[in-house]
Structure 1
Amino acid sequence: MPPPRATKRAPARRKSWPTLLVLLVLCYGVAAVGAAATGDAGSTYAALDKPSWAPPGWLFGPVWTVLYGMIAVAGWLVARNPVPARRPAFAAWGVQLLLNALWTPLFFAAEQYGLALVDICLLLAALVATVLLAARVDRRASWLLGPYLLWVGYAAALNLALWLTN
């Protein structure tokens, strides 16, 4: 009788669910800390001289709620995949989340619109890197980050317009 063949083991998917929960808490924690650090961002936004293409203030909450969930799931898809490309992709994911967390206090609490613009441009660069690196690990992760990339690009243009008019 021939010896049993070695089989390739699939990653332990069941063990990765706690990682998803941690990433969800982290992403929504960033949102909560940003909201707490800004005081009344709604009033600040309402008082700004905005371009005609600026979204209404009520839209930000629902959009970011969905985006933070997608960011967490994208990070989870990268983190649970045991390939060498995982580390740089997950490191870029962490950098973009840190830059994301810095923007809200810079813009709303400190009212440093120019500095917030620098931050959001760095965020865009980190996010592009994250999307490209994540595609090497799990293409679904890069697709999940697509709407976030578009929204941050739009937010960067809005940040620039607000900085120039306020």
Structure 2
Amino acid sequence: MRYMKPQNKSVLIISILIPLAIGSLSALISGNMSMYSSLNKPSFSPPAYIFSVVWTFLYILMGISSYLIFVSGNASSGKALILYGIQLFVNFCWSIIFFGFSQYLLAFLWLILLIILIILMIQQFYKINPVAAYLQIPYLLWCIFAAILNYTILMLN
């Protein structure tokens, strides 16, 4: 295994902390996540505690992935990281739309936008570092599942 310079360790840690902080801030602003238990949900809806576990894991993968792009030295990494930042902002807003404002239709449409952005980001990342792209696949799959869940909740409520 190649030795990692101390400044690269710091960049890796910061890269992981950014999505974790953004996710935590979104959850904090959303506030009313307890309302989820009162919603009519489909049978395939996971228990509420699963969401924080999965999102923590996904945010860590996102951070590692963005780190790989950041340190790649590739001329396209700036463009790819801007797309990463945009999708992270869209991700940030979804919880606020769904939990904070209970706007299930808008949240569903917002998730479709997020899924499109994730696909575009994966394509950009793949050109720079395929591993960085592969690390985003669980995030994409989870967001597709979230969109199906969101749509079903919209229909049931």
Q: Shorter-normalised TM-score: what interval?
A: over 0.9
Identity %: 29
Q: Hey, what's the Cα distance between the residues in 1 that align with 2:113 and 2:9? A: 31
Q: Residues 29-48 of structure 1 correspond to what in structure 2 (within 5 A)? A: 29-41=21-33, 43-48=34-39
Q: Residues 78-157 of structure 1 correspond to what in structure 2 (within 5 A)? A: 78-157=69-148
Off by >4 Å, runs of 4+ in structure 1: none
Q: Is 2:73 the counterpart of 1:56?
A: no
Matching residue's letter, 1:164? M
Q: Tell which structure's C-alpha radius of gyration is larger.
A: 1
Alignment RMSD, CA only?
1.4
Count, aligned residues: 154
Matching residue's letter, 2:124? L
Shift of 1:40: 3.6
Shift of 1:13: 5.6
Q: Hey, what's the Cα distance between the residues in 2 that align with 1:45 and 1:82? A: 43
Structure 2-normalised TM-score?
Answer: 0.92
Q: Hey, what's the Cα distance between the residues in 2 that align with 1:115 and 1:51? A: 19
Q: Say which SS state the counterpart of residue 140 (structure 1) adopts.
A: helix
- Is residue 124–residue 149 contact of structure 1 (8 Å, CA) maintained in 2? yes
Q: Is 2:18 the counterpart of 1:18?
A: no
Q: Say which SS state the counterpart of residue 153 (structure 1) adopts.
A: helix
The equivalent position to 1:75 in structure 2, one of 66, 82, 97, is 66
Q: Hey, what's the Cα distance between the residues in 2 that align with 1:116 and 1:94? A: 19
Q: Say which SS state the counterpart of residue 46 (structure 2) adopts.
A: coil
Q: Hey, what's the Cα distance between the residues in 2 that align with 1:109 and 1:119? A: 14
Unaligned runs of 5+ in 2: none
Shift of 1:31: 1.6
Structure 1-normalised TM-score?
Answer: 0.87
- Is residue 13–residue 80 contact of structure 1 (8 Å, CA) maintained in 2? no
Q: Hey, what's the Cα distance between the residues in 1 that align with 2:100 and 2:68? A: 33
